[in-house]
Structure 1
Amino acid sequence: MCSGRRTGPMATRRMNYADAMVDTFRICFKEDPHFTVIGNEVLGIGPTRLQFEPLQAEYPDRIYFPPTSEAAFTALAAGAAMCGHRTFAHLGVASFTYPAVSSIANEVATIRLSSGGRIKAPFIMHLNHGVVMGTSSQHSESPQCMYWNLPGIEIALPSSGSEFKGLMRTAMNRDNPVMLFTHGLLYHVEDDVPEGEYTIPFGQAAVKRKGKDATVVATSLTVGVAMQAADILAKENIDVEVIDPRTLVPLDKKAILDSVAKTGRLVTADETRLNCGVGSEIAAIVAEEGFRSLKAPIVRVARAQAPVSAAPTHEAYVIPTPEKTVAAVKKVMA
């Protein structure tokens, strides 16, 4: 459960998530003359989108803005990757990938197996996910589990800019297709990002906060939600351990099971839906493999099983919040 691997001194720089992405791309461009970025609004549609412009000026022949046909340019980027060009494809808002599911499911996910390992697929697919203030149902999906059900794709969920850098650098050194999910509200969030080369191994969770009373497993933006909840609960002498899996494929089951063995209680906090969501799968794993450790039933905090409208009151009702997470922890502590 290491925090990451660095080569060289541990120098960091304060930057937001979007800047961390640009910093990582710049390293990738310098390292690999064939590395290519394809996609529109790579850093979202907010003010952070402007942070991409200097990189465009530096590498105009290796950054492509395709027509808004996700099915077409997903297939194009996948083909380029299979021909040896490491490709980062920003597929936009996660629900925009649905027209491209045929290529992703039938070609990208299966190519290593169907070719007997002869064809590599160094293809990184980047998706924005989550409820992002008034964007309604077509722009608010979190389909991580849909793609978790496609064997052959590795899945990473950074919760900060430093994690994006570490996970992206690891993805660059793999020959399997990788999906990176970024929550749309993370682009402006700042943290200390290691300078130079920095990697986070896939399949190694991070203990974001140590505790002894209850375990909260959270992903992506909801890691911050869980940390806020833990701060609130600490004032009531409830000591919460927060685990960030960082990758779903591979999943660090041991870190989760070890934490539950210590605390005896589990809450999952995640923005995928309650039915068949990330929290549901983690709950199933703990129920099956760590049942004897549990002192109380597992509680899931997840998106409600409903479409999302653009109304702020509806958004607040369906998403995980610190208050809902606090209530869930108190329920397992009762």
Structure 2
Amino acid sequence: MKALQGVEGQVVWADEPSPACDVGQVRIRVAAAGLNRADLLQKAGLYPPPPGASQVLGLECSGVISEVGPGSSWQVGDRVCALLAGGGMAEEAVVDGRHVLPVPEGLSLAEAAALPEVYSTAWLNLFQLAGLRPGEKVLLHAGASGVGSAAIQLCKAFGNPCWVSVGSTERLSYCEALGAQGGVVRTDGLESLNDLGPFDVILDPVGGSYAKLNVKLLSVDGRWVLIGLMGGRSTELDLAQVLGKRIQLLGSTLRSRDEQFKADLISELGQQVWPLFADKRLSPQLARTFAIKDAEAAFAELATNQVSGKLVLLIDESLS
């Protein structure tokens, strides 16, 4: 099979051995794969896959099941999307059947490829780890990103007013159209967030450069969920503020979680989140698709940090 590898900072569509389909697993003939910041980091040699995971790029994909291993309830021909630790950007992907979800009714396979990673991330960090309760206020840094787009919609669906920080007025308008109450543009200064807070939960892919501000913006018993380090890995905090407000700092990554954890997360998504696509309360925010031959251009566009929503690579356009 052909698969996308990160080689010396470039992406290469090359031959790879086809993985075996073992007990409980399914083989997916891949139609499309979502592009995530983790793929950029892996391409650059900064984020290797967990031990035992595929070296092929891609943390989510969609397609049609072509083989079912013993013990799985899926059927050949099922249209699905899947959460992966790696291997999604390939002609075939083999994945634990418990990490697979049906394509929501009415969505294309390209749209479905944009769902598993961002909705898993948003649900895990806001509702499971931070324990978000109805009515609590949320701040989403990088609100127009793929995760941010999913998080805004989930907040709206579950009764949580949310605000965003973004990189442009156009991206702020995009977030407000999805359901955000408002927010600020980074270049205008983030201090005006003080007028919108305090916030009960902050979802933060930025890290170091926003750390002091986050502590200031959080309410008493606030939860700061750190999911990325786009703004650096180091900072200096006044721990008296953390102590006085009883702030919880939660560091969170999904890719390295074990198989059972991901299975439980996907099961909960299927029960709590997936039905909301059918009644249009949630929708994939597919910004643009790229043919697999144009993968380098897709990676370059994501690296601009100007994408609102998700980019998707089309791998087999004959599938529907």
Q: TM-score range by the shorter chain?
A: under 0.3
TM-score by length of 1: 0.26
The normalised TM-score by structure 2 is 0.27
Q: Kindly indicate which of the two structures has a greater share of residues assigned to strand.
A: 2
Higher helix share: 1
